[in-house]
Amino acid sequence: MIAHLRGRLLSKTPNQVIVDCNGVGYEVTISVATFSELPAENSEAALFIHTHVREDQLALFGFATTQEKRLFEKLLTISGIGPKLAITVLSGISPERLVTAIRGGDHATLTKIPGIGKKTAERVVLELKDKLDDLAIPDLASATGGAHHGPVADDALSALVNLGYPRPVAQKAIETAIEKNSSVGGDFESLFRAAMAAIR
């Protein structure tokens, strides 16, 4: 089984990359979160890999972090969720928010993800709620040493990361923005603009 790939990034799109490892090009399906962490094309990239084997297909799914890979594999244990839907889920919400939503039984957040209906959301919470303790998902609190500022800050973090800013830089900018003016923490647009100003 292929568990990890390191090589030259021949091409990348928000849902797929081709990695050249010693002359062999591996096509790997990825999430938007992983896409935002990847370097430019023709740079060296490394991905943690889940190899999905079916009778008629061998597919590779790649992740920037081991946490995202493990979350993906936990989603696969749920009836009705295959690898394509699991990738869609991870593209529609950050791993941090997904874990928080599952642990908190937040069906409303889960049903906003494309492909996740009410029954699937209920099944995800029921089956995974008590199985995520081994996932050390870094939230804003643990990553920055400060307080966690809720879903608005999570959304702003995801937006900044999707724009290409490194996660630690984005987290620090959000912390700085909230420290300067705590009122921005309740409004996405205000917080996002303040964080962007802090980065500049």
Interval 51-66: pLDDT, tens: 999 888 899 999 998 8
Name the 3-class secondary structure at 120.
helix
C-alpha span between 30 and 94 (Å, rounded): 14
Domain 66-128 grouped into CATH 3.40.640.10: no
pLDDT of residue 149: 63
State how far the Cα of 94 lies from the Cα of 100, in Å rounded to an integer: 10
Annotated domain spans of the chain: 4-63, 66-128, 140-199
User: What does the CA dihedral 192, 181, 166, 162 come to, rounded to 10 degrees?
Assistant: -10
Helices 95-103, 83-92: crossing angle, 10 deg rounding: 100
Taking CA 19 as the corner, what is the angle to CA 32 and CA 13, rounded to the nearest 5 degrees? 30
pLDDT of residue 169: 83
Q: Please provide the average confidence, as pLDDT, over all residues in the chain.
A: 86
- Nearest in space to 50 (alpha carbons), one of 35, 32, 65: 65
At the topology level, CATH places domain 4-63 in OB fold (Dihydrolipoamide Acetyltransferase, E2P) (2.40.50)
- Return the pLDDT at 94: 83
